[in-house]
């Protein structure tokens, strides 16, 4: 198999990019990856939380997870992340679209067995979700670590695809008396809800109050 063809865009190549800065910005803004793999010719696509360090993605879950057990056999896998930025409302049904940013990555994974590396990988994953949280909470104990499987997915190749901008109606449809434009969508946090068993006097951390600032940051590490 010609591996380079796995990330080669065949349609709308003008929307594609293999620039790692672009790819990492999308990966850092997302939370959920869909991991695709095959077992005995049966395809599976599983959503999972991930973290990133340079060109490595970290996946974790229960030691009983079939996905993690299968990926640890070094089968070929595909990871995709998609962010929807808006609905593009055109004058014709055919030309409706979405503004989006997406990444498709290919590679293989392996389990992390070294305890220190395992903890460090979980820290990376935690800080991907909410930077600063790991330093405040109790670290996992040996029992919890033994019940958790962590895999590092080394990205062999990846590409991004992005659509932005207004509708692209045919000029012949411009006279239709119907509203057209973009309905922006974004992921935004809401006011935090405190747990009922908080220790008295514990304040909401700044990284919770200012959580939405993560959306404006560039890639944490290339």
Residue 47, both tokens: 């959503």
Q: pLDDT tens across 13-44, in order? A: 677 788 999 999 999 999 999 999 999 999 99
Domain parsing of the chain, residue ranges: 3-215
Cβ neighbours for 146, distance < 8 A, ≥ 6 positions apart? 63
Residue of 77 and 10 predicted with greater confidence: 77
3-215 sits in which CATH class?
mainly beta
Does 1 score more than 50 pLDDT? Answer: no
Distance from C-alpha of 154 to C-alpha of 70, rounded to nearest angstrom: 15
| Segment holding 24, helix H or strand E | helix 20-29
- Go through 72-105 and write b for each residue having 16 or more CB atoms within 10 A of its CB, e for each that does not: beeeebbbbbbbebbebbbbeeeeebebbbbbbb
CA distances from 119 to 70, 116, 126, 145, 149 (A): 22, 5, 10, 8, 11
120-176 pLDDT per residue, tens: 999 999 999 999 999 999 999 999 999 999 999 999 999 999 999 999 999 999 999
Tokens of 16: 């594609």
Strand partners, 50: 59
């Amino acid at each position: 198999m010609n591996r380079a063809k796995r990330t080669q865009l065949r349609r709308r190549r003008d929307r594609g990019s293999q620039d790692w800065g672009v790819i990492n910005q999308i990966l850092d803004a997302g939370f959920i990856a869909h991991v695709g793999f095959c077992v005995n010719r049966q395809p599976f696509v599983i959503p999972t939380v991930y973290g990133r360090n340079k060109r490595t993605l970290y996946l974790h879950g229960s030691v009983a997870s079939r996905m993690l057990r299968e990926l640890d056999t070094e089968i070929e896998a595909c990871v995709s992340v998609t962010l929807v930025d808006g609905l593009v409302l055109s004058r014709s049904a055919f030309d409706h679209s979405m503004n989006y940013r997406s990444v498709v990555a290919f590679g293989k994974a392996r389990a992390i067995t070294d305890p220190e590396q395992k903890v460090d990988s979980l820290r990376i994953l935690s800080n991907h979700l909410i930077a600063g949280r790991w330093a405040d909470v109790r670290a996992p104990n040996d029992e919890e670590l033994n019940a958790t499987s962590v895999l590092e997915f080394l990205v062999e190749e990846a590409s991004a695809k992005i659509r932005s901008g207004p509708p692209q109606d045919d000029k012949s449809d411009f006279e239709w008396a119907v509203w057209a434009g973009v309905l922006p969508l974004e992921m935004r946090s809401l006011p935090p809800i405190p747990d009922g068993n908080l220790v008295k006097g514990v304040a909401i951390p700044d990284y919770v109050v200012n959580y939405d600032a993560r959306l404006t940051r560039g890639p944490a590490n290339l």
